[in-house]
Amino acid sequence: MDKTMRDLQFATVAIHSHQEPDEKTGAVITPIYQTTTFAQEDAGKHKGYDYSRSGNPTRTALEGCLADLEGGEHGLCFASGLGALTTLSMALFKPGDHIICGDDVYGGTYRFFDKVFRPFGVEIDFIELADLQTVRQAIKPNTKAIFLETPTNPLLKLVDIEAMAALAKEHNLISILDNTFASPYLQQGLKYGIDIILHSTTKYIGGHSDVVGGALVLRDDTYRQVLRFHQNSLGATPDPFASWLTLRGLKTLAVRMKAHCANAMALAEFMESHPNVEQVVYPGLPSHPQHQLARKQMNDFGGMISVRIRGGLDASRTFMKSLKLFTLAESLGGIESLVEHPALMTHASIEPEVRAGLGITDNLVRLSVGIEDIRDLKADIAQALEKAAALAKV
Ligand code: P1T
């Protein structure tokens, strides 16, 4: 972490880390260095930048700020969350290696590991990470890493970060945490011993549903060189404007997360008491089986809720279509509320029998609760549940 940031609070770091006024012009906001290349004084002699795939000052500001917010040494940004995942995977694993991955992860993460990386010769096991003994038994001589999400997408299951990082350390494995759902405001895995944090910055970090991006944050120097080399060699890097938009979003992460969490908590409580809802899954509810773990490792409970609507697929479709403020769309973490159907949308690339085994049922609906006024969101959910209930009764 940048020494000057060490004693400052999260919201302050988000606004000031690596974002000093521009030395040359005094511009208060980090400029968009919209250039592909940089003049060299002599062949090979430059001011630290030679080509924007390899590095760009706007991206450097974002990478440094993210590293400080996660409490890490280095940040590396990518064109998407999957760009971060594929670069990390190509850099750290080779055919014959074995990776343990949580069984409930973003559909695109599953698809990459299962359909792209497995044929490449890397062994992957998707397993339930809640039980440490199961994970222990899955470790083989060629196991190289444990990859986890917490809270998971879409079932909002929790993984004990500290226990998983300790287990990885004990067996000399790399621990990688996809922190997209929580964001560094709610959860910082590096302090629990995780080696590498992954983000889809498309979500809470960007926060406005207007820029796709990804990031890795490293606890220390161990993987810096190999990851920087692959970041440049594979080329899945963000352009200067994407970096700038993400940095702009990041500045307000603290205030946005507070509002997301407050709204989600209120909606989760409201839906849990509604007769047309079969189950509400939200880490902030005492009914969540890992509520205590959430209290331990998260500062608050996040903006994502999964809910099972009474009446099956038809009632769920009616519910989603009847919502007026929640837009039916993939993605999450923006200021506006979204609703989506994991089985038909974000997790459709997972085989139906695997999905069913996980509990991604046809009546499971995922809400990304935005920061609109809670009274409007509640009214919207109430009227859509009434419509779904009317259908369920027919
Ligand atoms: O979309 P991209 O920026 O490439 O990030 C992929 C990704 C990685 N990790 C998690 C936990 C994610 O949720 C995602 C993307 N997720 C969605 C698009 C979604 O609607 O769930």
Among 239, 241, 216, 227, which Cα is nearest to 82's?
216
Place of tokens 């940040």: 75
pLDDT band for position 2 (cuts 50, 70, 90): low
Q: Is 178 a catalytic residue?
A: yes
Atom of ligand 1 nearest to the CA of 330: 20
Tens-digit pLDDT profile for residues 3-47 = 678 789 999 999 999 999 999 999 999 999 999 999 999 999 999
Atom of ligand 1 nearest to the CA of 85: 8
Sign for the pseudo-dihedral over CA of 356, 178, 195, 192: negative
298 φ/ψ angles, rounded to the nearest 5 degrees: -120, 150
Task: Indicate if the pLDDT at residue 293 is higher than 60.
Answer: yes
What the chain holds in terms of domains, given with CATH numbers, is: 3-251 (3.40.640.10), 253-393 (3.90.1150.10)
CA angle 17/87/239 to nearest 5° reads 50
Tens-digit pLDDT profile for residues 110-134 = 999 999 999 999 999 999 999 999 9
| Residue 178 alpha carbon to ligand 1 centre in Å | 10
What's the pLDDT at 1? 64
Q: Is 53 a catalytic residue?
A: yes
**Interatomic CA distance for residues 250 and 17, integer angstroms:** 11
Instruction: Report percent pLDDT > 90 for the chain.
Output: 94
**Interatomic CA distance for residues 303 and 316, integer angstroms:** 20
Question: What average pLDDT does range 371-381 have in this prediction?
Answer: 98
pLDDT band for position 391 (cuts 50, 70, 90): confident
Tens-digit pLDDT profile for residues 208-233 = 999 999 999 999 999 999 999 999 99
Q: Is 203 a catalytic residue?
A: yes
Q: Is 332 in the pocket of ligand 1 (CB under 6 A)?
A: yes
Q: Is 331 in the pocket of ligand 1 (CB under 6 A)?
A: yes
Which pTM was predicted?
Answer: 0.97
CA-closest residue to ligand 1 atom 12:
106
The order of strands in the sheet holding 277-281 is 277-281, 304-309, 364-368, 338-340, 327-328
